[in-house]
Structures are given as structure tokens and as C-alpha cells.
Amino acid sequence: MRRKLLMGNWKMNKTIAEAKEFALASKQLSEYAKKHNVDLGVAPVYLGLSTVLEANPNLIVAAQNVNEHEKGAYTGEISIPMLQELGVTWSLVGHSERRTYYNESDEACNAKIKALIAAGMVPLYCVGETLEQFEAGATKAVVKEQLYVGLNDLTAGDVKNLVVAYEPVWSIGTGKNASKEIAQDVCGYIRKLLRDKFGDIADEIRILYGGSVKPNNVKQYLGQPDIDGALVGGASLAVESYEELLKNIVE
Ligand code: PGA
């Protein structure tokens, strides 16, 4: 049985003080989530990670990115041991904004995912097609490539804690969320690819939908057989709307 997961991606939002305020205000929500078997998390900027962990230790706290090298001459980067020192156990990998603005390739994602898994951390791997690719009917081919290259060189044992997020690029921050049918179709396809590659462990891997998820549309996704949760940007920033998202998932 896969546990439901609500993960907020704060992107480049919230100062440390604002992150702390949210984390403190979300304490009761974590209790509520636990009682209803939902995992609840957020991905703050690096600067906010330890503050959020300290203010609400019951939240899953994910980095938004990580460097695959342990240390060295990589100006501006953050390594896995640095995250682990703070107690961070999750990291997003390959969010479309990183792919678009920072040229992150599937190969680069693969190196990060392998390093995270080797360190016992949880990678949350984001995949999804652009509008152009969607309109060309290339969604599944794109997702397949991202998944196969991103998860290259891993075994069934390696991926047991992996989380995959399907986020169509055209739906991120646009208010144009994918229909539940499209989301289920692609998430079901992702599970099939995972099964082809890794066998039955695919049934334990959580797959999230992301892209303009709001309190009023989240429930339809969670009702789909292959969608286990949501990765939410804009609607995860205010604690009130985060609470509504959670309550609508639980109900
Ligand atoms: P959005 O962002 O919910 O604001 O569309 C989703 C994401 O980028 O993960």
C-alpha cells in the first residue's frame, strides 16, 4: 500500500523567517496528516532547510536540488553530505525549471539520483513534456527517455524509495492543470515503464502529479489508481491553502 504524499515546492520563495513561520504554523497539520496516513513535506531553498526541520521535525524536508559530487571546486553548489549534516533526507531532481534555466540533462539527473541513493537519501525525480512536445503527441516518448536515462544503472533494490513526479511543463505555474485522464494515463505509463525496468517494486514506487495543483482540483488526481500524491508549487506557499490541499486529499 503506497502512502499518499503532499509535497510543496517553494521554489525561490520565502526568507528564513517566512519559512520558519510556515513551519511553526504547519505543526498541527503534520499531526493531522500522520493520523490520516499522508506524508507531508516541503522543499524550501537551501537557506531555509535547517530552520524548517527544527521548527517542524514532522515535515519531510527536501532540498530542491543537489550536486552529485561529495566536495570540491563547484562554486555555488551544495553536496549530499552537507544536506545530511542538517538532517535533510530528500532532494528534488530534474525539476523542469532546472532543466530549462540551468540546462540540466537526463544524464546529470542520473548522476544526482545515483549519488542520493548511494547516500541513503530519497530522490524525487521530476519528468514531463513541454507544450510543443505535448502538442506533437510526444509526451510518452519524452517521459520514457527521461525515465530511462535518469534511472540508468540502478537496480530494483536501489529504487525502492524513489518518488517520481509527472509534471507537464505546460501546466507548471500556468493555471492549466492536466486533466485527471491525462495525468492518470501518463502516471500509469510511468508505472508500466518502472515495472518493465525494475519488476514488482514498481507497485511500491510513489508517483505524483504536479502542475497547477490547487485545493479545488487536487482530489481528482488522488482518486486515480496510479497517482499517489501531488507536487505543488504556488498553492503550497500559504499555510491556509496547504492545509486545504491536505484536507482535500484526506477526505
Ligand atoms: P505549480 O508548480 O503548482 O505552481 O504549477 C508545480 C511545480 O513546479 O512543482
110: cell is 542520473
Q: For the chain, give every domain's residue range.
A: 4-250
Please list every protein residue whose CB sits less than 6 Å from any atom of ligand 1. 9, 167, 172-173, 210-213, 231-235
Distance of alpha carbon 109 from alpha carbon 94, whole angstroms: 6
- For ligand 1, atom 2: residue with the closest CA: 233
**Residue carrying the nine cell digits 520514457:** 144
Superfamily of domain 4-250: Aldolase class I (3.20.20.70)
Show which residues are catalytic.
95, 167
220: cell is 481528482
- Among 9, 209, 218, which is best to mutate for testing ligand 1, by the most ligand atoms less than 8 A from CB? 9
What's the pLDDT score for residue 1? 82
Asked if residue 251 has pLDDT above 90, the reply is no
Burial 109-143 (b: 16+ CB within 10 A, else e): bbbbbbbbbebebbbbbbbbbbeebbeeeebeebb
Structural element, H or E, at residue 21? helix 16-25
CA of 235 to the centre of ligand 1 (A): 8
Q: What percent of the chain shows pLDDT beyond 90? A: 99
* Contact call for residues 52 and 23 (beta carbons, < 8 A): yes
The mean per-residue pLDDT over the stretch 112-116 comes to 98
Q: What percent of the chain shows pLDDT beyond 70? A: 100
- For ligand 1, atom 1: residue with the closest CA: 233
The mean per-residue pLDDT over the stretch 86-110 comes to 98
Quickly state the pLDDT bin for 105 (edges 50, 70, 90).
very high
The mean per-residue pLDDT over the stretch 202-209 comes to 98
**Residue carrying the nine cell digits 550536486:** 67
